Amino acid sequence: MATENKAPYTMVVGLEVHVQLLTESKMFSWTGTEFGLPPNTLCDPVNLGMPGTLPVMNGKAFNMALKTALACGCTISRYTKWDRKNYFYPDLPKKYQISQYDLPFSLGGSLPIPMDKEGNGGGSVRLTRIHLEEDTGKMIHTAGQESEVDLNRAGTPLMEIVSEPDIRSAVDARLCLEELRLTLRYLGVSDCEMQEGSLRCDANVNLHIDTPAGKVATPIVEIKNLNSFRAVERALNYEAERQYRKWQEDGLTIKDAPKETRGWSDPDGITKLQREKETAADYRYFPEPDLLPVVVDEAWIERLRAEVGELPRDRRKRFETAFGLSEYDANVLVEQGKAVADYFDAVVARTDQYKMASNWVQQDVLRTANAMGITVENFPVGPETLADLISRVGRGELNTQQGREVLAKLVEAGGSGSLEAIIDAGGFKMVSDEGPIREAIEAALASNPKAMEDLKTGKKKPDAIKGFLRGQVMKATGGKANPTLVGQLLDAKLAELEQG
């Protein structure tokens, strides 16, 4: 929010998100929905729209869509039907798309916008509606006169989620989409891979500008070709500036110009006007006579509600209240995906060192897993072992540095080594005896007279000097000294020297 607030306008954004559902078969026929197969290998007579064939609804897809709607707190329509959206395009074999027009299965609902490190986000976005439809095929425009069409995608279950224009910044739009992706992945209804097109997003944006004569709104622009969340953010920021400049030039408002469609060009970092059709599209919607309306009863809804499970938003709250984590930490653990949060949950079920568990999972586990190029599910050290290790550190048996070294050895052993054995073999026991630490402090002071000099003359900050000396002591004790004790004894020694 911070940066946008300085602008002389408010950005108003609504999103239209298409999500492919993770079903085994298509929305209305029996072939599979895998991505990346050779063109036109996932075809059957129904999804090719061959004469005489009829669609049959994929009940699993409908259930996934219902779960999504329940997770977003939407109102489920007790009576919903299918409609035909008619238009001629080669990627649409029947020349109509089976979709939902005036009675979608879900209305209302909302998505939270989580807060990021910079304090962006917060609040929520209302949803207008969610409906189900079938995906189209893909046109491949080659250099020559001919165009090619791949119908593998045609008929894949597609959920369209339309938001209200509640978003007020490009960052919020990105955060909202990230939350949507996380929620859908939690529900297991979509893999939401933008690169593979299983999540696609269009954004509607205009500006509300305060003028001496009152508030004016610029014409609405629909941005297409948004192929990453970063692209959404960049495109919106670009478009806001462009609309503002344009308004300054021509003064056109929402009342003077129709909605236009612009495509985002990622390499150029600009939006470009897309060729408008000469006449407005008339899709001639009418009820799909080949399919029956769907009547959803209370029992059906309750059965699926039970399958929804804990959502990211609920999990964040639980991490804050049950484990005392900050909103930021709770979000980092949750936004990494279900597996990471599950791992954390498994750790804190076995140790009361919640804060340390949060830090270790966020830093040590994730960093190591990333470096190894694996996911947390395949991390060689299980949550039980990590919990044990963290508890030992918490009890003061090891210091943090030793704990990290033990973890590194556990990872090296591929998870096969026992924690106890590694600790014993490496002598990873924290030294809390005062004697050896005092000796190390004396030695450090003796071999670094300049440090004392600096402290006296005030040439360097006392904290920096203490930090340096503490490092020397830790080094001298092989990293085994209790750092808290080192700090205390060092402070006492310095105070003694100052007074003396």
Partner 1 sequence: MSLTSLTATETVAGIKSGKFSAEEVAKAFLERTAKLKHLNIYVHLEPEVVLNQARGVDSRLKAGENVGPLAGLPVAIKDLICVEGEPTTCGSRMLQGFRPPYNATVIEKLKAAGAVLYGKANMDEFAMGSSTENSCYGPSLNPWDPTRIPGGSSGGSAAAVAAMTAPVSLGSDTGGSIRQPAALCGLVGLKPTYGRVSRYGLIAFASSLDQIGPFTWNVPDMALLMEAISGGDDRDATSIPEAVPAYSSEIEKRPEKLRIGVVREFFGEGLDPEVAAAVQETIKVYQKLGAEIKEVSLPHSKYGIAAYYIVAPAEASSNLARYDGTLFGHRAKDYSPANDAEKELPALVRMMMATRAEGFGAEVKRRIMLGTYALSAGYADQYYNKALKVRRLIRNDFEKAFAEVDFLIGPTTPTPAFRLGEKAANPLAMYLSDIYTITTNLAGIPGLSMPCGLSSEGLPIGVQLVGPALSETALLQAARLYERETDWHTRRPNLTV
Binding residues for partner 1, rule: CB under 8 A, are 45, 48-57, 84, 86, 88, 90, 93-96, 145, 147, 149, 282, 284-286, 289-292
CB of 83 to partner 1, least distance (A): 11
Cβ proximity to partner 1: between 9 and 96 the closer is: 96
Cβ proximity to partner 1: between 175 and 294 the closer is: 294
Cβ proximity to partner 1: between 57 and 413 the closer is: 57
CB of 292 to partner 1, least distance (A): 5
- Joined together, the tokens standing for residue 420 give 């106890």
Sign of CA dihedral 409, 403, 317, 12: negative
Cβ proximity to partner 1: between 45 and 479 the closer is: 45
Cβ contacts of 383 within 8 Å, gap of 6 or more: 343, 344, 346, 347, 349, 350
Cβ proximity to partner 1: between 250 and 290 the closer is: 290
Location of structure tokens 């976005």: 125
CB of 61 to partner 1, least distance (A): 14
In angstroms, the CA 88 to CA 94 distance is 9
CB of 262 to partner 1, least distance (A): 22
CB of 293 to partner 1, least distance (A): 10
- Best CA proximity match to 403, nearest among 415, 385, 384: 385
CB of 259 to partner 1, least distance (A): 16
CB of 134 to partner 1, least distance (A): 14
CB of 260 to partner 1, least distance (A): 20
Cβ proximity to partner 1: between 268 and 278 the closer is: 278
Cβ contacts of 168 within 8 Å, gap of 6 or more: 1, 4, 10, 11, 12, 13
- Rounded to a whole number of angstroms, the distance between the first and last alpha carbons of the chain is 55
Cβ proximity to partner 1: between 48 and 452 the closer is: 48
Cβ proximity to partner 1: between 52 and 258 the closer is: 52
Cβ proximity to partner 1: between 50 and 443 the closer is: 50
CB of 283 to partner 1, least distance (A): 8
Cβ proximity to partner 1: between 117 and 277 the closer is: 277
CB of 277 to partner 1, least distance (A): 12
CB of 275 to partner 1, least distance (A): 11
Q: Do 415 and 449 contact (CB within 8 A), yes or no?
A: no
In angstroms, the CA 408 to CA 425 distance is 14
Q: Let me know how long the chain is.
A: 500
- Joined together, the tokens standing for residue 32 give 């599979």
Cβ proximity to partner 1: between 48 and 216 the closer is: 48
In angstroms, the CA 239 to CA 16 distance is 17
Q: Do 226 and 264 contact (CB within 8 A), yes or no?
A: yes
Cα–Cα distances in Å, from 422 out to 361, 385, 387, 410, 419?
20, 12, 15, 8, 5
